[in-house]
Amino acid sequence: MQIKEAPKEYDAIIVGSGAGGGMSAYMLANAGMKIAVVEAGSFFDPKDPATMTQMKWSYESPRRGASTNRAFGDFDMSWGDWKVEGEPYTNKKGTDFRWWRARMLGGRTNHWGRISLRFGPKDFKHRDVDGLGENWPISYEEIKPYYDRLDKMIGVFGSNEGLANDPDGFFLPPPKPRLHELYYIKGARKSNVPVIPSRLSILTKRINKDRGICFYCGQCNRSCSAYADFSSGSCFIFPAQKSGQVDLYTDCMVKNVTTNDEGLATGVSYINKKDMGEYQLKSRVVVLGASACSSARILLNSTSKQHPNGLGNSSDHVGRYLHDSTGSGLTGFVPALMDRKVYNEDGVGGMHVYSPWWGDNSKLDFPRGYHIEVWGGLGMPAYGFGFDVESINKYIGASVGGYGDKLRDDVKRFYGSIVGLSGRGESIARYENRCELDEDVLDRFGIPVLQFNYKWSEYERLQAKHMVDSFEEIITNMGGKVMGEKPGKDKEYGLLNPGQIIHEVGTTRMGNDPLKSVTNKYQQLHDAKNVFIVDAGPFTSQADKNCTWTIMALSMRASEYIIDQFKKKNI
């Protein structure tokens, strides 16, 4: 097969247009660099009426929003989920990692939860605290200026609380709590669990003339047509295009980074999905932002005489230390929330309050913490609404079962009385937990796929136990009853599979020692100075926070380093 080469050379090629790649494209283009953004998914704009799902009614979908084709329901704005047609992955026997991929411009930022939390000082140096994992080669103080700029650039609501490990920022004002959230505040405080306004990248107030303000439809996971929530397309890619410096290649799946005799990158090779032909682009710098596992895969598939083990992989660390957040949860029925007056409480597309980690791990039987997310309320009914509603009667000693007007009454009495608590916590990064190439299996582009090998340890299981114990206590404090069975030891306390929380990080971790890390603290490969990674691969460790705000702060920092080095002709 003939590989077609484009004649011109870019200053930089950015692979992937999600949180990390989008930020880098924005920074580099605005600094005057000529760039190509190569994205495996199709073009997507949140306000394109042809693909938009925001403000659709459940009955506009024949399946009423069921998850037949989209894991989080028909209206969720993700093209692709844990399964992507023609793009398999495998698991080592006895393990079960789930890999989410969104194949669209903007990647997962089109439907993500917008929970935008900074990591705290402790999170960058956690080995100093408990002797586990590895410290980051950078500190909070070094990242803080980038978080500050990010807050203002994108917009995030929240509140300055002066907490030691949940830093303050430049917040927009948060929305007022909903009714079930007021109950949660009371219930949590009774157990000395702090509750503060949540921190979501949604515009409750104008930050510029280009983006709209939230009109409280509660549907951020459908992507906001007013650009009032953060997605990489609306906030990075489209504004970057205005500079005239960006060539956008959508539906182009990067296979590998090409290198020269000195082992430096010369560009990328990709498959164009429209004609299934292989093409090459040339550039002085290659920036990988394809997501932690995808970028690791590209590196591992980029073998050459100079990089026989894959690009950047002389240390055999590419793909290692893969770690996701932990997750478990409980659902509660709160009798005080029965027979509610019905009013519009859609609010923003996410919780209005949350609990940052409050515990002292030196007194607990597991390391690292988690935060609590709260859900509930008078939402729009979709597929699944009303399932087993009559069975709730058992919690109030009323008759279960039935049909007709009694059933109708049940639906109305119990509407809005269910509250869910979810824990999202920090796991320990481990050398053994990894993704590597499965040479036996190819995707539809003929590219070897990833094989995962990831197991939780007792640390994560005990943390999940603490979650469900705390949630049971809080639900009880709210006057509620835990619905279903509280998961015990046999069910690993409800601990979800790795990959299910979709915060995978660590596959190309940063460090000062090239034998123990893949990139330096500027996210530059130790083995090839003109290759950078701007997704969550370089994370040395997770935190009890979601990872994306940190991906973007780090990508901004790495991008400024790229601009500086490019201008100095060091790369």
Partner 1 sequence: MDRRESIKNILLGSALAGIAIGSQSCEPDLEETPINLEKPKGYGRTPFEREHDEKIANSPDFFSADELSAIAALCDIILPANDEVGGAIEAKVPDFIAFIVKDLPMHQLPIQGGLMWLNGESQKRFEKAFVALDTAQQLSIIDDIAYPDPKKESTTLEPGRVFFTRIRNLTLTGFYTSKIGIADLGYQGNRANMWDGVPQDVLDKHGLSYEAEWLAKCVNQEKREEIARWDDKGNLLNN
Interacting residues with partner 1 between 122 and 161 (CB under 8 A): 148, 151-152, 155, 157, 159-160
CB-based contact 543:326 (threshold 8 Å): no
Q: What is the DSSP string of 78-125?
A: -S--S--TT---EE-TT---------BTTGGGGTS--B--PPPHHHHT
Question: In this chain, which of 400, 441, 442, 515 binds partner 1, going by CB under 8 A?
Answer: 400
Where are the extended beta strands (E) located within 289-324?
none
Spell out where 489-538 has E strands.
531-533
Q: Tell me the three state secondary structure of residue 238.
A: helix
Cα→Cα distances 51→45, 54, 383, 504, Å: 8, 9, 21, 28
Site for ligand FAD in 252-271 (CB under 6 A): 253-254
Sites for partner 1 among residues 409-438 (CB under 8 A): 411-412, 415
Residue 179 to residue 347: CA distance in whole angstroms: 11
Among 13, 14, 20, 302, binds ligand FAD (CB under 6 A): 20
Q: Of 228 and 474, which has the nearer Cβ to ligand SF4? A: 228
28 vs 202, beta carbon nearer ligand SF4: 202
Residue 107 touches which of ligand FAD, ligand SF4, partner 1, none (CB < 5 to 8 A by kind)? ligand FAD
> Which positions lie near ligand SF4, rule CB under 6 A?
54, 202, 214-220, 224, 226, 228-229, 348-349
Answer yes or no whether residue 398 interacts with partner 1 by CB under 8 A.
Answer: no
Site for ligand FAD contains 535 (CB under 6 A): yes
Q: Which of 213, 338, 447, 482 binds partner 1 (CB under 8 A)?
A: 213
Q: By C-beta, is 164 or 387 nearer to partner 1?
A: 387
Q: Is 484 in the site for partner 1 (CB under 8 A)?
A: no
String of contacts with ligand FAD for each residue 21-40, x by CB under 6 A: x----------------xxx
Stretch that binds partner 1, among 60-68, 127-135, 481-489, 508-516 (CB under 8 A): 60-68
CB of 228 to ligand SF4, least distance (A): 4
The option from ligand FAD, partner 1, ligand SF4, none interacting with 202 (CB < 5 to 8 A, set by class) reads ligand SF4
Task: Please answer whether residues 162 and 352 qualify as being in contact, where contact means their C-beta atoms are separated by less than 8 angstroms.
Answer: no
Write the CA distances from 455 to 116, 463, 499, integer angstroms.
27, 15, 11
- Give the single-character DSSP code of 451: E
Instruction: List the single partner that 18 binds among ligand SF4, partner 1, ligand FAD, none, CB under 5 to 8 Å by kind.
Output: ligand FAD
**Out of 17, 54, 91, 433, which residue is the one contacting partner 1 (CB under 8 A)?**
54
The neighbouring-strand residues paired with 531 are 286
Contact of residue 112 among ligand FAD, ligand SF4, partner 1, none (CB under 5-8 Å per partner type): ligand FAD
Q: Which two tokens stand for residue 124?
A: 């960058």
Q: What is the CA radius of gyration of the chain?
A: 24
- E strand residue ranges, 119-241: 196-197
Q: Please answer whether residues 563 and 28 qualify as being in contact, where contact means their C-beta atoms are separated by less than 8 angstroms.
A: yes
> What sign has the CA pseudo-torsion 139, 140, 146, 150?
positive
What secondary structure letter does DSSP report for 427?
Answer: P
Q: List phi, psi (to 5°) of 456.
A: -75, 160
Of these, 57, 96, 276, 457, which contacts partner 1 (CB under 8 A)? 57
Residues that bind ligand FAD (CB under 6 A): 15-21, 38-41, 72, 100, 102-103, 107-109, 111-115, 253-254, 289-291, 294, 298, 502-503, 535-536, 546-549, 551
